[in-house]
Amino acid sequence: MEGPPRTGSAFLLAQLGAHAARRFTERIAELDLKPPQTGLLRVIARRPGESQQTLAAELGTPPTRLVALVDGLEQRGLIERRRNPQDRRLYAVFLSAAGKKLMRSLAEVGTAHEDDLMSALSTEERATLFDLLSRVAEKQGLAPGVHPGYRGS
Amino acid sequence: MEGPPRTGSAFLLAQLGAHAARRFTERIAELDLKPPQTGLLRVIARRPGESQQTLAAELGTPPTRLVALVDGLEQRGLIERRRNPQDRRLYAVFLSAAGKKLMRSLAEVGTAHEDDLMSALSTEERATLFDLLSRVAEKQGLAPGVHPGYRGS
DNA sequence: TATTGTTATACTCTATAACTATA
DNA sequence: TATAGTTATAGAGTATAACAATA
């Protein structure tokens, strides 16, 4: 009785998930991005022209948070705010050309991250792991591509 | 080209890890515990009588953080500080009887948590997943039982 | 002097509430 | 009045630096 093993899959998942998120945070720091910024860029890339309210709902974050987030990315010229002519209260948010270029760098970072993280496994084993994780995620009701917890890494 | 799928295993791991940590946080709230407290209790259970400096190093957290953490658990009667007679600068930290009892409740919570999280998989699939995750964790240099990120859930 | 534990401080991140401008 | 966006404020969590007691 020298302390429980305490390494179920649930614990391993939390441990590996935190590790993966931390490594990814380090990698995107080279692009001068933080996880919430990355998450916002991804949502804008997927649904260009949405209002900030819609983006906030999509990210599961309070609308007030988006203001500073959008401000920062806009000042760096990565995204653009355009007024909606039909309803001038709304902004429509788009990626700029520089933003689209950054998204390509981000995709490369993601690939390198995936390869490094899965380096312990063969191609076949990676497919098995992906299948098992997908089923667990679906059963837990997790929406594909959304990240509750660290919003946006 | 309507947005990348963006669901590699690395992303799934981060997503599921955050989910697992969040669910576990909810469960231990019923025991009036927060993740860092749980992590500290686990370390003390595994290595009773260590100094706060040693516990801090074990958790990978600054020693200053432990003070308030130990204070809170001591005031609830879950752990005990005893001066080390050989070196009166040091405290030796132990679980109280109430603390040991709480650890048993915590073990039950952990089992329920594991069962719920793995409910999508058969017994055999759970073993496969555990094996794959263990190998990924080992290759990534993660110490068994330690939790970088959320320290102590 | 070096080390353990402590206190005080500041910084980051995030959420809540109040304000403006448009509708 | 209702809604989009904004600003201001406050709270939690955490890290850094200075301090007292003991060695």
Cβ contacts, strand C, under 7 angstroms:
A 34, 36, 61-62, 64-65, 68, 87-89, 150-151; B 51-54, 63-64, 66-67, 70-71, 81, 89-91
Q: Is A26 a domain residue? A: yes
Q: What is the pLDDT of residue B116?
A: 97
pLDDT confidence of B30, banded at 50, 70, 90? very high
Q: Which residue has the higher pLDDT, A3 or A89?
A: A89
Q: What is the mean pLDDT of residues B120-133?
A: 98
pLDDT(B5) > 50: no
Chain segment B47-68, per-residue pLDDT in tens: 999 999 999 999 989 999 999 9
d(CA A77, CA B132) in angstroms, rounded, equals 42
User: What is the per-residue pLDDT across A23-50, written as a single tens digit (0 to 9) for each?
Assistant: 999 999 999 999 999 999 999 999 999 9
**Alpha-helix residue ranges (DSSP H) falling in B88-142:** 97-117, 123-139
Q: Per-residue confidence at A143, pLDDT binned at 50, 70, 90?
A: confident
User: Which positions in chain B touch A129 (Cβ < 8 Å)?
Assistant: 9, 129, 132-133, 136
Question: What pLDDT digit, counting tens, does each position of B84-93 carry?
Answer: 999 999 999 9
3-class SS at B79? strand
pLDDT at B44 over 50: yes
Mean pLDDT, chain A, rounded, equals 91
DSSP type of residue B55? H
Average pLDDT of the segment spanning B35-39: 94
The packing angle between helices A9-29 and B97-117, to 10°, is: 80
Digit-coded pLDDT (tens) for A48-83: 999 999 999 999 999 999 999 999 999 999 999 999
| B146 assigned to some structural domain | no
**CB pairs < 8 Å spanning A and B:** 195
Q: Flag whether A6 is in a domain.
A: no
Is there a domain that residue B63 lies in?
A: yes
User: In the predicted model, is pLDDT for residue A5 greater than 70?
Assistant: no
Q: What span, in angstroms and rounded, lies between the C-alpha atoms of A58 and A148?
A: 11
In a domain, A135, yes or no: yes
Q: How many domains does chain A have?
A: 1
> How far: B64 CA to C7 C1' (Å)?
9
Say if residues A70 and A41 touch (Cβ distance below 8 Å).
Answer: no
pLDDT at residue A149, as a whole number: 47
pLDDT score, position B143: 77
* A18/B126 Cβ within 8 A: no
With pLDDT > 70 as the criterion, what percentage of chain A qualifies?
Answer: 91
Structure tokens at A55: 């983006």
Report helix, strand or coil for B82.
Answer: strand
CA of B42 vs C1' of D14, distance in Å?
21
Q: What is the CATH number of the domain that holds B40?
A: 1.10.10.10
- Asked if pLDDT for residue B149 goes beyond 80, the answer is no
Q: Report the alpha-carbon distance of residue B109 to residue B20 in Å, rounded.
A: 13
Q: Is residue A69 assigned to a domain?
A: yes
Backbone φ/ψ region at A142: left (φ over 0), alpha (ψ -120 to 50), beta = beta
* Chain-chain contact of B120 with A114 (C-beta, under 8 angstroms): no
Domain carrying residue B22: 10-139
Answer whether residue B150 is part of any domain: no
Tell which wins on pLDDT, A142 or B144: A142
Whether B47 is covered by a domain: the verdict is yes
